[in-house]
A and B are shown apart, each in its own frame.
Chain A
Amino acid sequence: MIPAAGISASPADAQVRPVRASSLMRRSLRLWRTRIGLILVGALVLLAIIGPFVAPHGQSAFIGPPFSNPSGKAPLGTDHIGQDVLSRLLNGGGSILLTAIIATAAGLIAGTVIGMAAAYARNALDDVLMRGMDVIMAFPQVMLALVAVAVVGPHNWVIVLAIALTTAPRIARVARGAALPVVERDFIACSEAMGVPRWRILFVDLFPNILGPLMVEASLRLTYSIGVIAALAFLGLAPNPGAANWGTMIQENRIALAVQPWGAAAPIIAIALLTMGTGLIGDGIARTAAGIDRARGAE
């Protein structure tokens, strides 16, 4: 454990001071990277939402020979069975995004509660909870999703459950790590001395003070979730095999990369931009939080 940095001229000064969530978001927007991230994510979310309504053709409509080059009818060419790449692209993001957001949110809620409870308890409960988390974390995310799908089948709820289940312990670790120093602080002891009920202490006193690291980790997890869901589709395990899905498209069309790259390249670019966007947002928040802490410590 690296000792704290900075000899303070005044005693008891170098404490990490958490930031209000709204001001954290606002301040992080000042960084160019957060703005770019937000633009990317915004654009792709927009694409995913209104895409199906502006697609020139149906997602399963055959409009030409397979793997034909871009033309007026199909600006990005056709895919492995002759469907319009552009239309499938516009239709292909929604399910990935929705599943990722739901799964991440579920994991976030569960993980935060578990992490905070473990940090606050600081006793046997802490050990038990964290060992439980360790068991789940013994599986890489993709693998657990694969096993789950192998056993039950590629249904939406299975994927959501698998991802939520593997996201929760990772969030729990971060939440616990962020909560431990806060739990030691006197204002928590003050609430305890007044007899405030435990759940109130957790959600009203503790939770607002761990928002910074939590927000950063949440954006990281969202990025991963998107990746895992797309990877599952890529591996042929999407809920609706025939439906347009960026991951599935890549797998279907990569065989023709030398001939008609757009079938695979377009969804690749879409996923890449989306994940880079969420990654940038997360990094922007992280930097802002760190910068605020540094500036505060120097006061």
Chain B
Amino acid sequence: MNRFRSGGLTGFMLRRLLLGLIVLLMVSLVVFAATQALPGDPARAILGRAATPQSLAALRRHLHLNQPVIQQYLTWISGLLRGNLGMSIAAQQPVTTVLGPRLVNSSVLVAVSAVASIPLSIAIGSWAALKREKIFDTLSTNLLLALAALPEFVVAVILVILLATTVSQVLPAVSEIPPGSGPWDHPSALVLPVLTLVIAVAPYVSRIMRASMIEVLESDYVEMARLKGLPERTVMIRHALPNALGPVFQVIALNLAYLAGGIVVVEYVFNYTGIGSALQEAVVNHDLPVVQALAMLIAAVYILLNLLADVATILVTPRLRTRL
């Protein structure tokens, strides 16, 4: 009588997905409402002072600016769903064209950072928990504590000082990816940004891994496993690790989501051609369609990552599975 009904898990995922969509919808309302609050006239901003009233009127009609607010919102939303993200005011090109390659670049950056940081953090955290209060633990904990407190741009600039300009010059200070090529064509450009992001994320994941592992190692069931005479390796891998990983997934997802926001600053520092720097430029230029589109995108990624984290936690915690 296997109590684990797969329908239960799929049902759960669907429910969470639905909830996520609702949250996304609310986010879209907020984003749209926020941008509506902007004083000033977008049509005039695009055409400049010399525009004639007729061209202004024509552009306003084209941009749907004379329609009621609800209508504008619905137009925008339906456009989003169809993949039409509007026109960038600054670049005078569809937002998708502007953001497309940059999205690829940023995804590569985040992916490489994740792949580099997560296993490393889990390993550091587990080892520190195992060799608790010994040298490795004390050193790593204090070092990671110091690094965790630093804002990313501080870390980025320090790395630039140390490795690119002042102290040594082994890596490039600027990581611009020219259009038409991808980050894989310029691996050395990736190093410093990835290093910055790894330093931003690793302390948190390893700290939670350490705490989780310590709690598990002191649990009754691990003690019982030892009292049954099981070899230490079995105790660690079969009994301790699965239970320790549960809370870690949440933190990993949170940190990946954090990366989605953190790349804004990091890309700016290294002039990396990604959506982070696009956002910064768009903000400075009041390029609202781009800002809106990026806000929605990042929110969607965040929500998706949280969903994945919840699912992963459930998979690792049988007790929660059977309640579905």
Tell whether, in the assembled complex, residue B161 and residue A271 are in contact, meaning their CB atoms are under 8 Å apart.
Answer: no
The reply to whether B216 and A140 contact each other, CB–CB distance below 8 Å, is no
Q: Which of B90-139 contact A (CB under 8 A)?
A: none
A84–B65 CA distance with the chains assembled, in angstroms: 49
Cβ A147 vs Cβ B283 within 8 A: yes
**Contact yes or no, A134 B220, CB < 8 A:** no
Given the known A-B contacts A140-B262, A279-B145, are A147 and B158 also in contact in the complex, defined by CB atoms under 8 Å?
no
* B 5-33 binary contact with A (CB < 8 Å = 1; else 0): 00000000000000100011011001100
Taking CB atoms and an 8 Å cut-off, the chain A residues in 1-19 that contact chain B are 1-7
A68 at the interface (CB under 8 A from B): no
Interface size class of B (residues with CB under 8 A): 35 or more
For chain B, what secondary structure do more than half of its interface residues adopt (helix, strand, loop), or is it mixed? Answer: helix
Asked if A231 contacts B216 (CB within 8 A), the reply is: no
Q: What CA separation (Å) do A147 and B33 show in the bound complex? A: 12
> Which residues on B sit within 8 Å (CB–CB) of A271?
150-151, 154
> Are A140 and B26 touching (Cβ within 8 A)?
no
User: B221 contacts A139, CB within 8 Å?
Assistant: no
A268: Cβ under 8 A from any B Cβ:
yes
Query: How many angstroms from the CA of A195 to the CA of B19 in the assembled complex?
Result: 37
CB atoms of A268 and B154 under 8 A apart: yes
B265 touching A235 by the CB < 8 A rule? Answer: yes
What separation, in Å, do the CA atoms of A236 and B257 have in the docked complex? 24
Closest B residue to A282 by CB, please name it: B149
User: How many residues of chain A have a CB within 8 Å of chain B?
Assistant: 52
CB neighbors of B among A250-299 (8 A): 250, 254, 257-258, 261, 264-265, 268, 271-272, 275-276, 278-280, 283
Give per-residue flags for B150-171: 1 if the beta carbon is below 8 A from chain A beta carbons, else 0: 1111100110110001100000
Q: Does A135 contact B (CB under 8 A)?
A: yes
Say yes or no: is A149 at the interface (Cβ < 8 Å to chain B). Answer: yes
What string of 1s and 0s marks CB contacts (under 8 Å) between B242-266 and chain A?
0110110000000001101110110
> B173 CB to closest chain A CB, in angstroms?
8
Is A163 positioned at the interface, with any CB of B under 8 Å from its CB? no
**Interface residue ranges, A against B (CB under 8 Å):** 1-7, 33, 131, 134-135, 137-143, 146-152, 223, 226-228, 230-231, 234-237, 247, 250, 254, 257-258, 261, 264-265, 268, 271-272, 275-276, 278-280, 283
Given contacts A268-B154, A278-B149, 14 further A-B contacts (CB under 8 A): A5-B215, A5-B218, A135-B26, A135-B30, A138-B303, A139-B299, A146-B280, A150-B282, A227-B150, A228-B151, A230-B151, A271-B150, A272-B158, A276-B146
